[in-house]
Amino acid sequence: MCGIVGYVGRHNGVPVLLEGLQRLEYRGYDSAGVAVVNGDQLRVHKAEGRVRDLAEGLPKRVNGHVGIAHTRWATHGPPSDVNSHPHLDTEGNIAVVHNGILENAAALRAELEADGVTFTSDTDTEVLAHLIGRSTHEDLEDAVRDALAKVGGTYGLAVIDARQPDRIVVARNGSPVVLGIGNREMFVASDVAALVRHTQQVVLLDDGELATLTADGFTTSTLDRRPTQKETLELDADVSSYDKGGYDHFLRKEIADQPTAVEGTLRGRLDHRFATAHLGGIELTARELRGIRRVKILGCGSAYYSGIVGANIIESLARLPADAEPASEFRYRNPVIDPDTLYLAVSQSGETFDTLAAVQEVQRKGGRVLGVVNVVGSSIARACEGGVYIHAGPEISVASTKAFTSTAVAFALIALHIGRVRDLSPADGERLIGGLERLPEQLEEIMATEEHIARVAGRFSDATSAFFIGRVGGYPVALEGAQKLKEVSYVHAEAYPASELKHGPLALVTTDLPTVVVAPDDHLAAKNISAIEQIKARGGPVVAVGHRVLSELADDTLIVPKNEPELDPILLGVPLQLLAYHAALVLGRDVDQPRNLAKSVTVE
């Protein structure tokens, strides 16, 4: 993995490929490469580092009407020029770019080496290049089919052949592949972000499908040669959605986008007349909703933490047992799937491999699963029986901010929807609607305190570690706050329930270890104050996040406007996003592309 771009058409494809790679930089990567057919030869250029390093090293006159390009996030072999994609066969005719992991690559590599093949890289992808190059089929599409019949694992791939310079062959199994339709030109990418400048018409490949692209169009089929019919989708996005909008970083822009993103999540879904939420993607009758006995939320990383926020809201409003679990662990413990449980799969990209696999595990055992995703038409959205799009808009920075907040809002809508069918009173329904409608304005109020938050962030520039603690609704806020700090600043951070402070973590509190305490003015305020007192008694610096200044206790307080108790966690997390961002700036980090991380984790 991590990013694929391809072009076939009348124009020089190199600028298209480079621009596409730049638009995929947000996904996280360590090297980049490009291959184009020039005459009857492949021209291949690869470089460890950024896309700009690749572009600066390209010969001025390199060109070709057919080409593929890639940004790599290392899985097999360290980042290097040699391990960068594209990879070639022995004859130098075939070039392959690949996202995913080939699980039987080691065995295939051993077989090929025993047959005299010399490998030049450590990657699993090079196995594919040699398998395609050694196929007895002359047609590129058939040679790719032949190779894919031998491999196991996940792939999104694009292949070109210098001997057939009018086409690109692509295939998908577990890793996204999107075709873009132009005017006598075709595009391919792993993400629509690479395509929006050139086309608004796209086709999404399904797992087990292969496509051949020429300048005049495309054909699709299954791996066993059965033709498939594909629907053309119109993108609901424009180029400006993928720009920084005057900000220095996508991360800062997306934090600022949150009032608008929340409005997008709420738009058309609040019903004052019946004090409920209308969610067209949840096609469950009132009887089916009343028959739900439990809610299980599955997600990874920030999606999992938003799931904990959501489980708390659902349990509080709908009075259903609800919990969240990492999707990456769920399917490996042979879970018992209860037909009376509603499963919710959460993913910003809709392509998170572990979450998609969890969806398939639930469905395989007869369970019902709905999606809560941001990207329309994504794999998880299509795999689920229905669900809720969060409509937060494109999120480019690797660290999630607006998608986290909008997802939590979507869970509040789900809780309201289910709760009103069950026992939630109209008065409580209207109370929640009022709170949801206040969120955008309150988010703006938080943004206005950024200067103070930036000053507080300065203390983290000297810290090597930090604690984040909170109780009940504050605990997932602490989890996400710690996640943001370590993601973008590389300061080690851990989150604990505040109630667990005395059960181990307190031993590490010193004058050099700051603690961020999520301390809203709620029924647990006295207990949170007690936790602060215990930390201060040991000389630990404290930053409180809450509704009132705790100057007599905390060293600093990040003030958040008060909403309804169920919705307060949605607001409490936003100052921690700004705290992490400004700490990263002080430390000189690459906030949009943190090391070792990718935006969409499409492998295990």
Active site residues: 2, 599
- Non-local (6+) Cβ contacts of 417 within 8 A are 276, 277, 278, 279, 282, 289
Where is 20: in which H helix or E strand? helix 14-23
Q: Is the dihedral of CA 214, 218, 224, 225 positive or negative?
A: negative
CA distance 561 to 87: 54
CA distance 319 to 501: 29
Q: What is the DSSP string of 365-379?
A: TT-EEEEEESSTT-H
Closest by Cα among 425, 421, 390 to 307: 390
**HEC readout, 289-357:** HHCCCEEEEEECCHHHHHHHHHHHHHHHHHCCCEEEEEHHHHHHHCCCCCCCEEEEEEECCCCCHHHHH
CB 69 within 8 A of CB 18: yes
CB 533 within 8 A of CB 515: no
User: E-assigned strands of 419-491?
Assistant: 465-470
Residue 464 CB neighbours (<10 A) = 9
Sheet with strand 294-299: strands edge to edge? 322-326, 294-299, 341-347, 368-373, 387-389
Instruction: Tell me the pairing of strands 465-470 and 492-497.
Output: parallel
CA distance 442 to 499: 29
User: E-assigned strands of 110-177?
Assistant: 155-161, 168-173
CA dihedral angle for residue 537, residue 542, residue 548, residue 552, rounded to 10 degrees: 40
Closest by Cα among 290, 300, 292 to 351: 300
Structure tokens that stand for 361 in this block: 């595990």
Burial (CB count within 10 angstroms: exposed 0-12, middle 13-18, buried 19+), residue 225: exposed
- Non-local (6+) Cβ contacts of 58 within 8 A are 14, 34, 45
Structure tokens that stand for 603 in this block: 């492998």
- Non-local (6+) Cβ contacts of 166 within 8 A are 8, 66, 214, 215
Where is 36: in which H helix or E strand? strand 31-38
Closest by Cα among 146, 149, 192, 142 to 167: 142
C-alpha gyration radius of the chain: 25
